[in-house]
Structure 1
Amino acid sequence: MFLRSREAPAGALCAVAAMTAVAWLGAGPAGSRHAVTAAALALALGIAVLGHGLGGPDSVLDATAAIRWAPRRALHLATIFVVAVAVVTAVATVPVAVVARDAAGFTGLAALAATLFGRRLAWTLPVVTGCVSAGVPAVPEPFALYLLTWAGQPPDSRTALVTAALLAVTGAAGYVTRGPRRTGPAS
């Protein structure tokens, strides 16, 4: 019932198909910039679709329920991460560490967007970051731009790893403790 109220089964089917198609179309030489970018785009797209399920159709009603939401929210984020990593790793030609790094960061961004903007806009931060990472080369200067392109950086980038970890922890902490932004069923 929890998953159906969040439209998770339909979202999972669409997300898996989208991640598979984008990662497969972008597969290139192992670890190449093109392959890393395609994997990042696949993850951003899939996690954006799965992020829609980070809240129910009526968040005010969810907030009044007499159950503990924190464990369910944490499990939901972990499931999104695992599904995204499994699908993209099966298709992409990039190292698993890069896929896990990017999936953690994008999952954190989706959780942060759900917390700040509500479930209907949970897709915004992963998609914008994925597009910036795909469209802008990861050059070290200026540093602010380098941080914005963390998802498209090479596998050995410590900056990308730290950025993804910070996004994952911040987004997960906000979402697990506060939940999605409260909006009514018509919003």
Structure 2
Amino acid sequence: MTALLLFLRSREVPGGTLCAVSAMVAVAWLGAGQTGSRHAVTAAALALALGVAVLGHGLGGPDSTPDTTAAIRWAPRRALHLAAICVLAATVVTVVTSVPAGVVLRDAAGFTGLAALAATLFGRRLAWTLPVVTGCVSAGIPAVPEPFALHLLTWVGQPPGSSAALTTAAIFTLTGVAGYVIRGPRRIS
């Protein structure tokens, strides 16, 4: 148990979780409206983006050297950490908002993959970038079926039955998770 507590403290998880949950509840609650309305879906997406961005800060420690030199297997810990971020974000937003759980879970998985990808490419300090940019783009551009490029760009706000949105979220999730679990966060010198 001590190893888990040390891991959580080194990743600043307790403080990050408190801030992320508070922010997700506030944003999702302020945007809650009719079930499936565009406003509610946008607010849920922004809440997820914000929560995953805050929790993504814990995808690496203050010193990135132990992540690559320690004599422990990091892959299971990294995978569990990503799963915990996704489940926590999806649970909080699902409880607060009226958006269908399938949309929330799809978006939470996609945002978690984007945060993992950003941590792998840019380091833990910039793990927030890809989820926040994607959330803001989806909030600013209405989710429309045509043209197809715009449909993919606004995958977060697409309705539950959108196979393109599900495929886009799955690609971001698998790419980000694979990169982060295998390589870990980028070492910052």
Sort the TM-score into its range (normalised by shorter chain): over 0.9
- Residue matched to 2:131: 126
Q: Which residue identity does 2:80 align to in structure 1?
A: L
Contact 2:67 2:184 in 1 (8 A): no
Provide the identity percentage: 79
d(CA) in 2 for partners of 1:107, 1:69: 18
1:138 Cα shift?
Answer: 1.3
What's the CA shift for 1:30? 0.4
Deviation at 1:167, TM superposition (A): 0.6
Unaligned runs of 5+ in 1: none
2:176 match: 171
Q: State the alpha-carbon separation in 2 of the partners of residues 27 and 66 from structure 1.
A: 47
Match of 2:77, as an amino acid? R
Q: AA paired with 1:141?
A: E
Q: Which moved more, 1:50-59 or 1:143-152?
A: 143-152
* 1:139 match: secondary structure: coil
Count of residue pairs the alignment pairs up: 184
Distance in 1 (alpha carbons) for counterparts of 2:165 and 2:145: 11
For 1:116, the equivalent position in structure 2 comes to 121
What is the rounded CA distance, in whole Å, between the counterparts of 2:61 and 2:87 in structure 1? 21
Return the letter of the residue paired with 1:84: A
Matched with 1:95 is 100
> Conserved in 1, the CA contact under 8 Å of 2:116 and 2:180?
yes
Structure 1: how far apart are the matches of 2:17 and 2:55? 6
1:33·1:154 contact (CA, 8 Å) conserved in 2?
no
TM-score, normalised on structure 1?
Answer: 0.96
For residue 53 of structure 2, what is the aligned residue in structure 1? Answer: 48
Q: Structure 2 unaligned segments of length 5 or more: list them.
A: 1-5
The residue aligned with 1:104 is 109
Greater Cα shift, 19-28 or 144-153: 144-153
Secondary structure in 1 matching 2:35:
coil
CA RMSD between the two structures: 0.8
